[in-house]
A and B are shown apart, each in its own frame.
Chain A
Amino acid sequence: MDFSLYDKVFENRIRLQIMSVLMANDDYDFSSLKELLDVTDGNLAANLKTLEKEEYITIEKSFIDRKPNTRYRRTAKGEKAFENHLTALENLIKQQYK
């Protein structure tokens, strides 16, 4: 059984949830993410930073009505990593049913 696909980055639940949202949507903005995940600004920002460092997501900063609007997108690398992680979880479940 191959467990190399298991991604440590997604061990953190917030990061796993952020990536789930960005898999289901083309892009998502900071404040909506915050409401959805029900976390503090600092916590969310730190985890987004980690995902950005891994190059799993990209950040687009812009202004709407002079208010800063930050949007996040998954990268091809992030998509692959997330799919791999799901496969790893699947394998773990399969193994337990043996």
Chain B
Amino acid sequence: MNQKDLIKEIGHIRSMMERSSKFLSISGLSGVLIGFYALIGAALAYIKVYGFKSGFDYRDHYVTEPGVIVYLVCLAVVVLLVSLLTGLMMARRKAKKIGQQIWNPTSRSLLFAMIVPLVTGGLLALLFVAKGFFGLVASTLLIFYGLSLNAASIYTFKEVRWLGILEIALGLLALLFPGYGLWFWVAGFGLLHIIYGFIVHKKYE
């Protein structure tokens, strides 16, 4: 056996281990897009709550009026759905390109790993809204989203783990700065996704 064959042989082993245990069809560009959706959503939320001309001199804006809450929840849900759809469609395209199935044992494991922390966080946030603890919602969703990314990261790019840890950190910080939840969302769901997307795109695509 010559050296070329040997290296090929090891290449086969490596590629099979990786392709069978890691879901690599998540598109980096979709991360960038999802980040921009979050920024647009945050801008709309800001305009609704604070109006166009709002200075930083004092903070007496409240989200407790019922109309505003419904608007904000709907906005968040729309951004979430559009993001999921974008992520899914671009993953399907990438899967086709690299010859991986989108629904395989690894993507199943990835989904199951994410779903428990994600649904827990979502329900908890809804309960907080129902009980009137609005100040806890922003950090709850960031923390549980981070936990679900961290859980999912063993089945995909290792960068997802760092994204998850940073989301958790932002969620915890958000608790320390009540009233600035929207800005932490801009950082967590907007900027972090854009940065993550660029890194994955540059490195793997």
Contact = CB atoms under 8 A, between A and B. Distances in A.
Contacts of B93: none
B13 A16 contact: yes
Interface of B: 1, 3, 6, 9-10, 12-14, 16-21, 99, 101, 104-105
Contacts of B20: 20-21, 24-25, 28, 36
B113 to A, nearest CB: 14
Contacts, number: 49
Given A24-B21, A28-B20, 4 more contacts: A20-B20, A25-B21, A86-B13, A96-B6
A78 to B, nearest CB: 14
Nearest to A23: B17
A49 B46 CA distance: 63
Interface in A78-98: 86, 89, 92-93, 96
A70 interface: no
A53 B19 CA distance: 26
Contact of B6 (A13, A36, A92): A92
Interface residues of A, number: 20
A24 B12 CA distance: 13
A28 B17 contact: no
A17 B6 contact: no
A17 B16 contact: yes
Given A92-B1, A93-B3, A36 B9 contact: no
Contact of A24 (B1, B6, B17): B17
Given A13-B12, A29-B105, A32-B104, A21 B17 contact: yes
Contacts of B104: 32, 35-36
A89 B10 contact: yes
Interface of A: 13, 16-17, 20-21, 23-25, 28-29, 32, 35-38, 86, 89, 92-93, 96
Contacts of A13: 12
Contacts of B6: 89, 92-93, 96
A28 B19 CA distance: 13
Nearest to B16: A20
B3 to A, nearest CB: 5
14 contacts: A13-B12, A16-B9, A16-B13, A21-B17, A23-B17, A24-B17, A24-B18, A24-B21, A25-B21, A25-B105, A32-B101, A36-B16, A38-B99, A89-B6
B101 to A, nearest CB: 5
B6 to A, nearest CB: 6
Contacts of A21: 16-17, 20
A21 B13 CA distance: 8
A34 to B, nearest CB: 11
B105 A28 contact: yes
Q: Which of A17, A20, A32, A93 has the most CB of B within 10 A?
A: A20
